[in-house]
Every structure is written in structure tokens, then in C-alpha cells.
Structure 1
Amino acid sequence: GCSKGSCVIWDFETKGLAREFHDKDYSASITSVSWSKYGHRLLASATDKSLTLWDVLSGEKISRITLEKTPLHASLQPSCPTPSICLACPLSSAPLLVDLDTGSTRFLPVSVSENSNPSAHNPRNKFADGTPPFTPTAAIFDKHGDLIYVGNSKGEILIVDSKSIQVHAVIPIPGGAVVKDIVLSRDGRYLLTNSNDRVIRVYKNILPVKGSGEEIRNISSNSNDYESHYDKLKVNGASCLILSCELSDFITKTQWKTPCFSGNGQWIVGASANKGEHRLQIWDQAGPLVKILDGPKEAVIDLAWHPAEPTIATVSVTGLVYIWAKEHVENWSAFAPDFEELEENEEYVEREDEFDLNPREEEAEEVSIDEDADIDIETFEKNAMFSDVEDSVDEIVFLPAIPSPDVPDEQPVKCLESSSKLEDSSHSGSPSSMAAVQDGQAIPMASSPMEVNYSAAEDPAELPISKRVRRLSMKGLESLQFEKDKTPATKSKSNGKPAKSSALDDEATEDEEVNIET
């Protein structure tokens, strides 16, 4: 998402622009983008309080609605290929479910007290027990969209049914710090929270990945022997999430920003929230720190981990996107003929016929190949790294490029005008060339297209009215110059024979050429 209101999709392999979505009527900055589960749709939230849904293949806008508050984050429901329900987290309001087709909204509960209805929403953005207004609340769908995990400013995780909007469980966070971010791993088995106490907490999801909504309803219906409803919800929460580990920097006490899981869920990355610092820390899922990545002196706005490769993309405050990848070290070790790496030199004894050509074996191999078999070039090989590969039949695996029309350029018109002028000038006789002929200087044959065309004509009547100009050959010019350098021309002999000069003139006359002047 860009500050000018457009959404850009980059091809990660070619590093080229694949798609750009932009509404000409709106230019507000984009606050978040969200892909649908199968990649057919893209949701964008903007600072003008709008939510826009785009069709990725066609590039057309499907719908656009405007909320009452500015949404900081929005995500599509992952339950269907073409979702129309999204979860929006506004700046100063409770999270809400939005129907992009009808524009209807439903607010989610953000807190549960002992003497209040857990599903009630206070329109004044206050808790039911009278505490001050809450800060922006984080919320996210589970893997299949049956449940919604909500993190509030009281340091609690609420598990809400996405259909009935009812709270089924509450998980108190140690310390009770405000929850800023809540993220689910791709396989849906782990969940992390980022709190104001500078600690990232990782929880293991005990609920089944499929059918989690039905399972939590069964847990909620079986637990009725408790004094208060809040105690019941806390007991239900203990059957849903278990705290796995806590991640923090005990030395610098850094506030974290936009943490997320790796594609396989085994690594966790968090960015420093300090201004002027582009630092990432990577932890193992068990808790130990693995790597620290330092970049330019630019604050991090957002980051994302590649779903299948050890690659991270970060966005800086200057608008640049940085790609972090594993540094590949070339291996110059020795390898055996079967490409097995050798730690030390070994003596290899080859067979007597190892490198001999056996025509019979080659014929047998050729016969075993079925040349008439049809080759499938349309079926896409599924990636085993994706946890939802079993139901990813209709996902987008290729985004065809759409050629953009060329911008008309005025330069070709100018070139045509200049070429026409050159042609006109070439058709008109060159004064300099005619002057050279009159002065007795030699010029190349067929110095203009007109000379070539007219010399090729057989009928003199077809030629325009012209003036014949006699042009001497090189030999004649040399003889003429030689005669001029001599003393005054000698008189002819008494016997009536012509002089040498006349003979030279006759020889020059034989080499004369006709030059046509227009």
C-alpha cells in the first residue's frame, strides 16, 4: 500500500511490477492490505476511513465502503475463496465485522466483567465497568475463520465466535499490559501477542485447527459449576491456549513492532520500535535468540516473512522495501562421482566396464521410454511447505502480465517532417554542385536521385524541360589544364592537319557526359 492511495503487487522473482490498483477518485494513504485465502481478492484500508476490495486478476474494484473511524488494520475472512466479510480494527473504536456487499457492521466485545453481559458493546468506547476509553484493539481470525482472537488494553485475550459474536473464553496475560499486536501462525497452531511491557508472548493453540468453533462451544456448554461468568471464561481459556515462551531484550528493553511467524512457524521475528533504528531480531520458537539484523538508520513500519523461503521484507519510514535473505556461501569441497561430499581424499577404483559404451543397454533404455505419453504442462505441483495445501486447488499460482498502452510520442512526427524536407531539398538542384560543374570541377556520378531517374529514362519526351550541361571527364580535365599552363596555343601546320589541342578536344568529346539541370 502506498501513500498516494494505490496498491502495488511486485513479482518477487523478476522484481518487476505485476499489478497496480488505484481508484482515481481517491488518493488517501493506505494503512493495511490483506490477501484472500486463495489470492483472488485484495482488501485495502485507507486513512479516509474506507475499505476497498479489488479483484486481483482483472484489476477491477469490487466494492468500497466508508466506516465511521479510520481502520488501522483489516483482514478478510479465510473461510471461502471469494470472501465478502472482513475484520476491521479502527483507531478509536472496537473491532468490527464488516459485510463488504451490504455495508452492515457488527461490533465485537472487547472486555468481560463479572457483572456485565460479555457480548454487549458500549458505543462510547468505554468498558462496562467504567474504566477509561480503550486504546486501539488488535484482533485476528483463526485459520478457518470460525473464531476471532481479540487482545484488549486490560491485558486479556478474548476468544469470540465469529457467527454469534459471543465470548467463549478469556486468557489473562501476565502483567496485564496493553496488547498491541496479535498474530497467528500459518498452520494455526501458535499465536503470539506483543504487549506494552516489551515482551512478545507465544501461545500454543490446543483447539483443533478444523472445527474449532464447534469444539469451543462444547467446552463452554460443559462448564457451568462456577460462581461467576468471568471465572468460567478463564477456565475455558485454559483449555484453549497455553503460554509457551516469552521473548524480550533484557538489556536494551526494546519496544517491539509488527512481530510475525516464519512460513513454517518455527521462527519468530520482531522489529525494534525505536525511531531511526532498522533492527530485526529472530528467535527460535522455543525462545533463544538466533540472529540480529541491522539495517539503515530508518524506522520500520511493517514487515512480512516469505511463506516458503527464509526471506523477510521490511518497509522503512522512507517508503523503501528491504529484502533480507540468507547469505549463500559457495562450497568448494570435493565430491565423489555420485555427488556425495567428501571430507578427505579417497581412492576410487572404477569398474572395468564403467565407462564403456554398451549399445544393448542404450537400446533397452530407449525402449523403456514411452514417447507417446501425454505430458501435463497445466497441473501445478503443490508446495509441501504450505499447511493448507490440501484445499488450495483454486489459489492463484500465476499472475499474467497486462501490457500497458504506449504513450504517444511527438518525436516520430518531427522526424517525418525533417525527412520530407530533406527529400524536397534533394529534389531541387544543388547550387553548389552546378557551380562546381561550371568551374570545371569533378563531382560524383548520380549526385542526386533525380539524376539517376532521368538517366535511366529512354524517352527524352518524358523528361522535364532541362538545360544540357557538358561535363568533361577526368582525362579531359587534365589535358585542358595542361594546355592552359603552356605558352599561347601553336598554330596549325601549313599542310592543313589539325594541331594537338584539337586532337585532345576530340578525345575529351568522346568521354563527355550529359548533366541535366532542373
Structure 2
Amino acid sequence: MNNPIIDPLQGDFPEVIEEYLEHGVMKCIAFNRRGTLLAAGCSNGSCVIWDFETRGIAKELQDKDCNAAITSVSWSKYGHRILASSANRTLILWDVATGEKVAQTALEKAPLQARLYPGSSTPSMCLVCPVYSPPLIIEMKAGTITALPASVSDGGDGLSVPSRNKVFDETTPHIPACFNKHGDLVYLGNSKGEILVVDHDKAQVRALIPPAVGAVIKNIVFSRNGQYLLTNSSDRIIRVYENMLPTKDGLKALDEMDETLNDLGWVEKLKAIGSKSLVLYREFQDSVTRIHWKVPGFSGDGEWVIGGSASKGEHKIYIWDRAGHLVKFLEGPKEALIDLAWHPVHPIVVSVSFSGSIFIWAKDYTENWSAFAPDFKELEENEEYVEREDEFDIMPETEKVKDSEANQEEEVDIITVEHDSTFSDSDLSQEELCFLPATPCPDAPEQQDISVGNSLKLVENNHSVSPLSADAALNGLAMNHESGHVEGIDNSPAEDTSGRLKRKRKPSEKVLESQAEMVKKPVKKAKPSAKALKPKDKVVDEDNGLSVSVDEVSDDYYR
């Protein structure tokens, strides 16, 4: 994005509420990598997956043993798995395509946040931030749990597992943590305001960024491209740091810096490496009201910073550019905001209210009719049109069509695939799950009976159709004119030319009653026409029951 030539009032950010989604009481949301599916955790323990293109429910994941509220949902890199953490201290890893559980783990304390390892297409390892406990690295299939250090001591190893009295208090129920882009490092922020860079394989602190003010860090988020890190502190300031490490092989870069600083002490070395790893880029706050922030984050391309208000009863969203200017202020319904997510590709923001509804914020596009034709002119009000004298005159062709300047002999490359900058790290050999197939639901038998009954009532009200033909058309009946009886069409399963079986439909009680009445009721034969009879043919006179020849039939018979 070229910021100098873009009007900040016309940027690529949402402006109005486009739509809202409702399904139970939803608590947390997360987009998949492409933004085609939206996962929402509900208060009843289910995880609903919305098709974001059609705004319909694609699948619902429900564990019969879990009825506690979902606290967080996390997608795997290619969308094949979803991790859901619930308030009853359980983690469930789902297979999205089949809807089956891959693994389940029980914890000692309730997890407030859980994130899947981004370095694998089908991960079973995750980063969990429980309440009043240090962050954990959990291998769900193997069942191993590793606690990460949340502070640096003056000891030789530089590790210390935090105690509740020193690290946790009422204002910080958990220590926020997140993976970097490729998952080889974990960044966490503690109650002292420090940012620690941890090697989660060895559970060792590799870098320390000293606190700016000493405020408690409540949220920590990486941008999608891995270039910026965001923290939300208790001093009501959102801070953005620029990541100086390479997005790939960041651990290797830390090893190289560690070798060059062997002459320093352990803590001094960590601070020196931290100063080269993260650099404070910008601070964002509401200098007027000084409100707390509930959920901060980045846009999909990392150009915008977003913050959701944590004030009770307010649904306010602030949007800044990376230069620190407030470019948009969004105010929603009179319901508290509890979660927020920016679409990975489009300028769309999705927020969750306290009542459990999802609001979709989108850009307010204005119609530009001049885009259809260059000479099209939009009028603010009606104007009288004055026709030119030669406007509709037939003019001879004065100019020939210019030859195309394109090189006709140049070969066009249709094989090379250009990488999308948004998904430049995609593995083309890995199949990505972007959409879920829709499964049609057949109508219940009760609904079929109701539809047949409604059709009978409609036909009875229509006087232009005879009752017999209407019932025969609706109920699948056929009349045998020779015997005068009504016979039902055989609906038993039979093979047709395509090799499929016909569906057998069970008639309702009204249909059976109508069939019985029609069988008892005699059917009046149609009178033959005079032209169709020969002179020697016999017909029955209905008045006296005598059989007479055609010559003896009076003209009144055919009237």
C-alpha cells in the first residue's frame, strides 16, 4: 500500500455494519487462512463453522461430554484442523472435513487462549495460556505438557517458573503468549511489562525486551506477515514493535547473536539480544477518554491497527494507520464487545457482542456509473437535454481501425503460477481446505404429508379442475375406463434404465380416504359420439336400460 497517495478517509477499512449472524450465544471467532470459513465458539460447548461467502452454517462440531463455554478457537495453517479450548479445562482438536475428534486433553486449570503450532499442516502441538498459570506447550497426541518460563532470574540458567504471588494478580489472570510466523519461537509478556523470546523446544529464554513503563501486558499478537508485534498493556496503550529477526529461521539468528555476546552476563546478554530483536515502532491510544482495550490486532496486510473497546456496554472499534493517525471510529449497538477479527484478505471486520451475535463490518461502496462508459455523465438532478443538429446523422467512416500494437508472435506463458503476495509462504503441494461441501437434508415424512394435504386443499378450491383428475394427478392414481375402477400406481421399488431405485412414498391418511371413496363411487362412462358409431352398433339407453341399434337412437341422446 502506498500511503502518501491514498486519502486516509477513503482507505481499505470497514465503515458500516453490512450483516449480522445469529446462532446461539457465540463467544469467540477466528478466520481460516484464506478467510473463506469463520469458526465461532459458543456458550454451549459447540463450535460453529460459517461459510463466509454464503453466510450459512457449513458445519457444527459438538462434543456430547462438553457443555461449557468455548474460550478460544484456532485454525491450522491449511484449515484441516480446529483447536477449541473450553471453560471446563479441556482442549479438543477437531478434523474439520470429517467432524471427528483427533485428540482431547484435560488440564488442571481453564485455558483462556490456545493456538495451534503454525509450522505444520496437521499439527497436534499447541500453545496454551491457562488462568493463573504459565504458558504451556502441549503435544496432544503424545500427552506431554511443558511449562514455559514467564520471567528471568539472576541465576545462571536464566529460568524461573513463576509463582502466583510474584507474577499473577487480579488484573492479570494469565500470561499472554503467541507463536511467531513459522512457530520456532514463542513471544510472551508478563506482569512486569517484559517481553520474553522463548525457545519452546528447550523451554529457555533467548531474549528479553525490558518494559517501557512497567505496565502489565494483557495481549500479544503477531501480524500475518510476521514483521510486527503488538502488545496491549494495562496503561491503556497499544504498542507496536518491529521484528528485526528474519521471519524464517529466527532461532538460528538468535544463536548467531548469542555467540557474539559471550563476554556479557546472562541477563545483560538477553537484554542486548532483545534490543536487536524487537524495536518499538509506534504507540496507539485514545488520548481523550483513555479507555481500556479488549481486543487489539492487525489488518490482513498489516497496514492498519485495530482496537476494540473494553468499556462495559460499548461496542466501539478504533482503526489507526501504522503512522499513528486515527482514520476511522466505528460505533456499533449498545452491547459490549468481547471479540474481534479482521478478514485476512478483504477490508472486513467481524465483531462479537455480549449477547452472542456476530456483526460484519464492511466498506460502504458508492456506485460509480461512469465506470460502465467513459462518456457517461451522472446527474444530480433532472436536466433538459438539447439534441445536437448532427447527433443522429449517418457519417461515413473516416478513420480505419488501427492495427493492434500487441506482438502476435510473442509466446504467452500459461504454465507458470504467480504467487500471491498475501499467501507467499503457501506450499503448493499441500491441499488447502477452503470450503466445506454442503449436505442436502431430505424432507421429513411429516413435512411431505403436510405438503400433500395443502396441495389437495388448493386443488379443491380450484373449480376448473374435476375432483377425479385432481386427485389422480396429486396422489398418483390411474383410471381404467374399461372396468370403471380406480387403481393406484405401483410405487414399489423398481429398477429404471439408469440403475437407480425409485423412492417409495407412504400415502397419508387423507390420501387413503380419498382413494376409498373413489373406489366406492361409480364412474359414469362417457357417451360415444355419433360419428364414432356404426349403423349396426348397439348402445344402451340409460332411461329404460334397453339395448338398441344406432338407427333407433333418438337425437335427444346426443344432446
With the length of structure 2 as denominator, give the TM-score of the two structures.
Answer: 0.69
Give the Cα–Cα distance (whole angstroms) in 2 for the partners of residues 111 and 74 of structure 1: 20
Q: 2:543 aligns with which of 462, 467, 470?
A: 470
Kindly report which structure 2 residues correspond to 1:365-380, keeping only aligned pairs within 5 A, or say none: none
Structure 1 residue 38: Cα displacement: 1.4
Q: What is the alpha-carbon root mean square deviation over aligned residues?
A: 3.7
Kindly report which structure 2 residues correspond to 1:63-74, keeping only aligned pairs within 5 A, or say none: 63-74=103-114
Q: Does 1:247 align with 2:284?
A: yes
Structure 1 residue 2: Cα displacement: 1.0
Structure 1 residue 375: Cα displacement: 9.4
Give the Cα–Cα distance (whole angstroms) in 2 for the partners of residues 424 and 15 of structure 1: 48
Q: 1:61 aligns with which of 97, 101, 106?
A: 101
Give the Cα–Cα distance (whole angstroms) in 1 for the partners of residues 401 and 543 of structure 2: 84
Give the Cα–Cα distance (whole angstroms) in 1 for the partners of residues 417 and 94 of structure 2: 25
Q: 1:329 aligns with which of 366, 390, 394?
A: 366
Q: Does 1:48 align with 2:88?
A: yes
Larger Rg: 1
Which SS does the other structure have where 1:214 is aligned?
A: helix
Identity %: 46
Measured against aligned partners, the alpha-carbon deviations of 1:257-305 in whole angstroms (never above 9, x if no partner) come to 1111111111100001001111110111121111111111111111111
In the other structure, the counterpart of 1:12 is 52
- Is the CA contact (8 Å cut-off) linking 2:159 and 2:204 kept in structure 1? yes
- Is the CA contact (8 Å cut-off) linking 2:299 and 2:344 kept in structure 1? yes
Q: 1:186 aligns with which of 213, 216, 224?
A: 224
In the other structure, the counterpart of 1:461 is none
| Greater RCO (CA < 8 Å, at least 6 residues apart) | 2
In the other structure, the counterpart of 1:202 is 240
- Is the CA contact (8 Å cut-off) linking 2:197 and 2:205 kept in structure 1? yes
Give the Cα–Cα distance (whole angstroms) in 1 for the partners of residues 552 and 134 of structure 2: 111
Q: 1:125 aligns with which of 164, 168, 187?
A: 164
In the other structure, the counterpart of 1:352 is 398
- Is the CA contact (8 Å cut-off) linking 2:194 and 2:211 kept in structure 1? yes
Measured against aligned partners, the alpha-carbon deviations of 1:113-143 in whole angstroms (never above 9, x if no partner) come to 2247433325x53449x99996310000001
Structure 1 residue 397: Cα displacement: 5.1
Which SS does the other structure have where 2:82 is aligned?
A: strand
In the other structure, the counterpart of 1:487 is none
In the other structure, the counterpart of 1:399 is 435
In the other structure, the counterpart of 2:519 is 427
- Is the CA contact (8 Å cut-off) linking 1:94 and 1:125 kept in structure 2? no
Change (3 A) 1:333 1:48: same
AA in 1 matched with 2:78: Y
Kindly report which structure 2 residues correspond to 1:99-118, keeping only aligned pairs within 5 A, or say none: 99-115=139-155, 117-118=157-158
Q: Does 1:451 align with 2:524?
A: yes
Q: 2:354 aligns with which of 298, 310, 317?
A: 317
In structure 2, stretches of 5+ residues that fail to align are 1-40, 379-394, 454-507, 530-539, 546-550
In the other structure, the counterpart of 2:320 is 283
Q: 2:510 aligns with which of 418, 435, 455?
A: 418
In structure 1, stretches of 5+ residues that fail to align are 342-348, 430-447, 457-466, 473-505, 514-518
Q: Does 1:38 align with 2:78?
A: yes
Measured against aligned partners, the alpha-carbon deviations of 1:221-277 in whole angstroms (never above 9, x if no partner) come to 321333x42222111110100000110011000101111111111110000100111
Give the Cα–Cα distance (whole angstroms) in 2 for the partners of residues 409 and 131 of structure 1: 59
Structure 1 residue 334: Cα displacement: 7.5
In the other structure, the counterpart of 2:487 is none
Q: 2:333 aligns with which of 290, 293, 296?
A: 296
In the other structure, the counterpart of 2:200 is 162
Structure 1 residue 112: Cα displacement: 0.8
Structure 1 residue 3: Cα displacement: 1.1
Equivalenced residue count is 428
Change (3 A) 1:247 1:410: same
With the length of structure 1 as denominator, give the TM-score of the two structures.
Answer: 0.74
AA in 2 matched with 1:174: A
Change (3 A) 1:471 1:402: farther
Give the Cα–Cα distance (whole angstroms) in 1 for the partners of residues 449 and 166 of structure 2: 71
Which SS does the other structure have where 1:323 is aligned?
A: strand
Structure 1 residue 201: Cα displacement: 0.3
- Is the CA contact (8 Å cut-off) linking 1:5 and 1:30 kept in structure 2? yes
Give the Cα–Cα distance (whole angstroms) in 2 for the partners of residues 294 and 350 of structure 1: 61
Give the Cα–Cα distance (whole angstroms) in 2 for the partners of residues 350 and 336 of structure 1: 24
In the other structure, the counterpart of 1:146 is 184
Structure 1 residue 426: Cα displacement: 2.2
- Is the CA contact (8 Å cut-off) linking 2:58 and 2:437 kept in structure 1? yes
In the other structure, the counterpart of 1:219 is 257
Which SS does the other structure have where 1:291 is aligned?
A: strand
In the other structure, the counterpart of 2:22 is none
Change (3 A) 1:350 1:59: farther
